[in-house]
Structure 1
Amino acid sequence: MSARIRWTLAVFALVTLSTHNTAPVSAQVAAAVATANPPAAFNDPNRRARLATAFPEIDKVVAEFMTRSHVPGAAWGIVIDGELAHIGVAGYRDLAARSPVTRDSVFRIASMSKSFAAMSILALRDQGKLSLDDLVEKHVPELKNLRYPTTDSPRLRIREVLSHASGFPEDNPWGDQQLSATEDAFSRMMAQGIPFSNPPGMAYEYSNYAFAIVGRIVTNVSGKPYRQFLSETILKPLGMTSTTLEPREVAADRMALGYRWEDEQWKLEPALADGAFGVMGGMLTSISDLTKYVGTLLAAFPPRDGAEGGPIRRWSLREMQQIWRSRPATVTRTAAGAVNLNSGGYAFGLGITQSCEFDQIVAHSGGLPGYGSMMRWLPSHGVGMIAFGNVTYTGWGGVVTQAFDLMAKTGGLQPRTPQPSPTLVASRDAVSRLIMSWDDQQADDMAAMNLFMDTSKDRRQKQIAELRAKVGSCRAPTTFDTVENWLRGQWTMTCERGDLNVSITLAPTMPPKVQFLEVRLAEPRSAPATCR
């Protein structure tokens, strides 16, 4: 029996109990607390079919982009609920041989590699081998004598190198040319010192150097080379058999060669070997392999009971996708000229933004000589897109934005809806009964200690009686209009001469009781607020 069915049966039983049982309200709420909280869920059973209607248009957008941007070859995929729902390929992986890109072609994904390093750190944290608040110098001795920019600067912690808050200077494209640096050369580089553009923990600034240090932490703490730890802990458990940090490990008939568009022609870019800086940008993978990775990060949502699937804890996967270093908000215009507000920051190896359309956008792009890539997904919607190209710094951002716009137009790109907890259902029913027929004992039973201190019981009873005089007798509801979370919701009571809107928030007590209650005459519903 699925968790959703179990929860549905539990709520049905609870509603039946609250309707026909005369037990005290507090007893009913206490019984509800013992029942598992339901996860947010999609309301439209046809959402995947709706989204699929956008795929042909998305393919056209990609084709136009390839022509406009001189991309020799590309592969792209749409991920829905952790599965590769659509894959597209076009052009050539090898221009000289006229070998086409296939669904198994392997591209370099550059800075998209960073989140794998972050996941490796969280795996070590989950194993109890380090803390994100450890000083970096604890695990990287070369940094013990690092000279900080001011005497009051804090010493660098692991969480700061994971979130581009290290204070090191932005180092694109310098970092791209460091991929093949040896471990010995990297040790000497660190021992010589690192200049700071800000004190640690003060501001966002993108640092490839910082993620090379992340790789060294993984190596020193695990006792294994970073490549080995990554393979054993992340790649193999996810079945990512085509993913590697070393180009020489990719079969020649699968490798997408990298090119530069220059002097009105494509020029082959020399392949960069793996080295100490490969942690930050050296990974190679295929669409099907990266789908498994993106699907795993998407599957961490929503929070729920049940078995953990790995390769790290489900909470750790969500932790990777939360803002840990904010960035200044930006205002842009859409292709149609509308103003759009974007805010966000950096998580652990991933960028996080919020727009007028989407509450949480998780993404990372990648660019190297010969390659450009993008992965972007919407945790609340269960949908993502991956795209690879084999021309220097292929810029996929606009294409992916258009793809999500096209899917939104189908009506299928809707977020999960929070589901009411059994506790919230029991409290809704208790409040509704009180509105229909006031009883002092029931009022005391459902109220948190503050409710009648904020507005006296007599005043609340009078206000509700005045509303009832206007609308007549009312019926108890069986649904919510809005569920914001497990402890807050709104509903409508249908009455003889109008409706009542009711809102409650439960208190942080056990059992949770009503700390906020508003009852008012229903008004015509207005359109949701927008930031446009």
Structure 2
Amino acid sequence: MIERLGPGIAAASLAVAACSASPPMTPAVPEPPPKIAPMPTVDLPPQRFATAPPGTTPSTVVRPTKEQVLAAAPDLDGLLKQALGKLGVVGLSAAVVLGRERIWAGSYGTRDRDGGEPIDVDTVFRIGSLTKLFTGLAILKLRDAGKLGLDDPVARHLPEIEQVRYPTTDSPRITIRHLVTHTSGLPRLGKLDYFSRKEAVTEPELLAGLKDLSLEAPPGEAEAYSNLGMSLAGLVVSRVSRQPYRDYVTEQLLEPLGMGASVWDQEAVPPDRLASGYRSENDSYRAGHHWRMGASEACGGMYSSAADMARFVGSQLDAWPARSDPPSGPVRRSSIRESHLLAGPGPSGARSFGINWGSISHPKLGFAATHAGGTLQYGATVWLLPERGLGLVLLANGGGEAGEVAERLSGVGGRMLDLILKQVPVPELTLSPALAAAATKVRALLAAPETDAIEQLFNEAFLKQFPPKRITKLLTQSADALGACTGHTPLQQSDAKTGVVRLDCELGTAEVVLVLESPTAAQLAGFAIRAVEPHD
């Protein structure tokens, strides 16, 4: 296959792929709903493990050192002092975590607008939607215990959800995965009201709001952030664990992590620890009542401190990379890693959800997991760079409409991480020996595409789909467009068998993608060459 990707530059792309057609879906009939079978119990054989750990993969992703983080401290301090005024908040508490250790903390402003005690790392704030991260962990912990499945219909554990109305007759049932990836089709709130009342939301009230509630989209087809959906996920935790949601999260997650300052009620926070909440309006601050979330608290009811949230961030970072060490926390490391990665069936885009984490590929920071939380009186954000072992939390007493402060606080968090990474030198990437040898052989083939050399470089499966004559033709056309290639530069090694190099040639440059048959042999199972830029 030949494409023209630039003036006078040809590109050839070779790949091996296989696909199979999926069986047609049977439209679901919403009325009457089909009976949901109980979840079967299956005894699985024990897992088998390799006798030696996998080899490491060279990468441009470097974990910062403690010294590099601290070298950024003056810049972090200056940024947060500016942010305190620009965000329109009374106080701000921040913590930076490397591995499992809190490396740096900064506190700004006061707990009270009238010049009260200064904020510190132990000051308690309401963290709003960061609570959802704990709800997601609770779901995963119950899944790991075999008590539910992410793809269970929610109705298996919460039959009341059958009161909703699906938009089409072929809509699939709402699953637990849909709830925790915000792809259920449920509205943001529906009839849920925890903000205009002083009494706590009750479970009967929450469930009564589902009657004849129309979904905004078929489950699994669109991402739409839903506090209602996460409130229902909290009820699933309660039903499956057979104890109140807050008790399960406290006993199974908060206490094992040492998060003793994290609580569910304003009255449970010592008065000398609580940051008073304020709503910012026209350069002034207005106090307001704290939401009584009750049965809906799984979507945003928790209070916590920067010190406690730093412990949580450390437990999340500790899950990376995969390894054979003994368990190190209340939730399996593999499940924590799963929560950071894309988990929902929604369409791809710049932002998608893991298990309640926003999973993104940031142009400066790389792979990141993040979440923001806000109420009318508070804002919060947490960032993880899992591959770098780096994370942070920011908490503020000051809010506004529609989580405005929380979103702006998230932007500050991203800038903090950027300041830290500027202290980390970018190493020169070196490919594994097998990939480096394969790159050299490809460059030689561009100069002289001999059949014997082609048959030695590519594996049998590749040659069956792309015979040597076809490969020769494509290499010749690429060589004519590029001219003589004098060297190559490693650009990326994404795993032990896959790498990308840039060819530096007489008439232009090109990128070559190499896929090895095995990590230790310079034989290719996949290959692509694409033109990048012609020389003037």
TM range, smaller chain: 0.7 to 0.9
Q: Choose from 153, 159, 162 the match for 2:180.
A: 162
User: Partners of 2:436 and 2:104 in 1: how far apart?
Assistant: 43
Match of 1:303 among 302, 308, 322: 322
Structure 1 stretch displaced more, 397-406 or 375-384: 397-406
> Which residue of structure 2 lines up, in the alignment, with residue 366 of structure 1?
373
More displaced stretch, 363-372 vs 396-405: 396-405
AA in 2 matched with 1:104:
D
Q: Secondary structure at the match of 1:364?
A: strand
Q: CA deviation at 1:58?
A: 2.4
Give the gaps of 5 or more residues in structure 2: 1-49, 504-509
Higher mean alpha-carbon deviation, 320-329 vs 289-298, is at 320-329
Structure number having the greater helix percentage: 1
Q: Does 1:354 align with 2:361?
A: yes
Q: Secondary structure at the match of 1:384?
A: strand
Q: 1:319 to 1:414 in 2, by over 3 A?
A: farther
Q: 1:525 to 1:382 in 2, by over 3 A?
A: farther
Is the 1:146–1:193 Cα contact (8 Å) retained in structure 2?
yes
Q: 1:289: how far off?
A: 0.9
The gaps in structure 1 that reach 5 residues or longer are 1-31, 330-342, 494-499, 527-532
Q: Does residue 128 of structure 1 match 2:146?
A: yes
Q: Is the 8 A contact 2:98 2:391 kept in 1?
A: yes
**Which of 419, 423, 432 is 1:412 aligned to?**
423
Q: Tell me which residue corresponds to 1:248.
A: 267
Tell me, in whole angstroms, the C-alpha distance in 1 between the residues paired with 2:232 and 2:406. 28
Residues 63 and 389 in structure 2, CA contact (< 8 A), matched pair in contact too: no
Distance 1:311 1:49 in 2: 30
Number of aligned residues: 467
CA shift for structure 1 position 134: 0.6
Larger displacement relative to structure 2 (76-85 or 98-107): 76-85
> CA RMSD of the aligned region, Å?
4.4
Query: What is the match of residue 385 of structure 2?
Result: 378
Task: Choose which of 91, 112, 135 in structure 2 pairs with 1:94.
Answer: 112
Give per-residue Cα distances to partners, 1:207-257, cap 9 Å, x unaligned: 111111001100111111111111122112211111122222211111111
Q: How far does the alpha carbon of each residue in 1:236-280 deviate from its partner, in whole angstroms, 9 at most, with x for none?
A: 221111112222221111111111234754332223335101110
Deviation by residue 1:356-393 (Cα, 9 ceiling, x = unmatched): 32332321111112111111222233322311111123
- Report if aligned partners of 1:419, 1:485 keep a CA contact under 8 Å in 2: no
Q: 1:391 to 1:458 in 2, by over 3 A?
A: closer
1:238 aligns to what SS in structure 2? coil
Distance verdict in 2 for CA 1:79–1:440, change over 3 Å:
same
The aligned residue for residue 14 of structure 2 is none
Task: Kindly report which structure 2 residues correspond to 1:32-71, keeping only aligned pairs within 5 A, or say none.
Answer: 36-38=54-56, 47-71=65-89
Of 203, 223, 227, the match for 1:183 = 203
Counting only pairs closer than 5 Å after superposition, residues 201-216 of structure 1 correspond to structure 2 as: 201-216=220-235
1:403-459 deviation digits (Å, cap 9, x = unpaired): 544653563357899997xxx6457568979979x9999987875213444253998
Q: How does 1:233-382 map to 2 (within 5 A)?
A: 233-262=252-281, 265-323=284-342, 324=344, 326=346, 343-382=350-389
Q: Residues 94-128 of structure 1, C-alpha deviation per residue, up to 9 Å, x if partnerless? A: 34571221211010000111111011001111111
Give the TM-score taking structure 2 as reference length: 0.73
Q: For the structure 1 residues 508 and 154, does the alpha-carbon distance in structure 2 shift closer, same or farther, using more than 3 Å as the test?
A: farther
Aligned-residue offset at 1:307:
3.1
The CA distance in 1 between the partners of 2:417 and 2:208, in whole Å, is 50
Structure 1 counterpart of 2:499, from 477, 486, 489: 489
The whole-number CA distance in structure 2 between the counterparts of 1:322 and 1:415 is 25
Cα deviation, residue 286, structure 1:
0.7
Return the offset for 1:53.
2.8
C-alpha contact 1:381 1:415 (8 A) present in aligned 2:
no
Post-superposition offset of 1:348:
1.7
Shift of 1:88: 0.9
3-state SS of paired residue (1:380): helix
| TM-score, length of structure 1 as denominator length | 0.73
- Decide whether the 8 Å contact of 1:110 with 1:282 is kept in 2: yes
Residue of structure 2 in register with 1:449 after alignment: 460
Q: Which residues of 2 match residues 367-516 of structure 1 at below 5 A? A: 367-393=374-400, 395-398=405-408, 400-402=410-412, 404-405=414-415, 407-408=417-418, 411-412=422-423, 425=433, 447-453=458-464, 454-456=466-468, 482-489=492-499, 504-507=514-517, 514-516=524-526
The percentage of aligned residue pairs carrying the same residue is 26
Indicate the SS of the match to 1:273. coil
Alignment of 1:510-525 (within 5 A): 514-516=524-526
Task: Tell me which residue corresponds to 2:171.
Answer: 153
Q: What secondary structure, in the 3-state scheme, does the structure 2 residue paired with 1:320 have? A: helix
Written as runs of structure 1 = structure 2, the 5 A alignment for 1:212-231 is 212-231=231-250
